[in-house]
Amino acid sequence: MTKSSNVFCWIYLTLSIAGAVFPTLANIEYMKLYGPGFDIIKFIDLANVNPASISLSRDLLIGASAVFIWIINESKRLEMKNLWIVILGTFTIAFAFSAPFFLFLRERRLLEIKQAD
């Protein structure tokens, strides 16, 4: 593994862990404040209560949608394994987890391809 690839792998993996931990902590706090379950309708309502939150919600929806489409296409192009973790993580943990985790998997796949040449 090249030094830069190793650095990028660690950066992506660290961001992925942070992207799982911090949204999960916020979701736990949400459930403590608004009931024992995760009321998605209430969550969406709260994410759209003022212009700042509306801007962030729309920004995430549009940006994450575009990147998610790229993730699917790129994983097929590179014949990547374990994409199911990325897809499941996007909808059950957070996009903040799955995007950097995909980049981690992608970096490792690119290294595999390079070593096979």
Number of domains in the chain: 1
| pLDDT beyond 90 at 51 | yes
Confidence (pLDDT) at 1: 62
| pLDDT beyond 90 at 36 | no
Structural domain including 8 reads 3-116
Distance between CA 64 and CA 9 in Å, rounded?
21
Local confidence band at 37 (pLDDT 50, 70, 90 cut-offs)? confident
Q: How many CA atoms lie within 13 A of 77 on its CB side?
A: 8
| pLDDT beyond 90 at 67 | yes
Taking alpha carbons only, the member of 59, 84, 54, 58 closest to residue 71 is: 84
* Tokens describing residue 46: 């709260």
What percent of the chain has a predicted confidence (pLDDT) above 90? 85
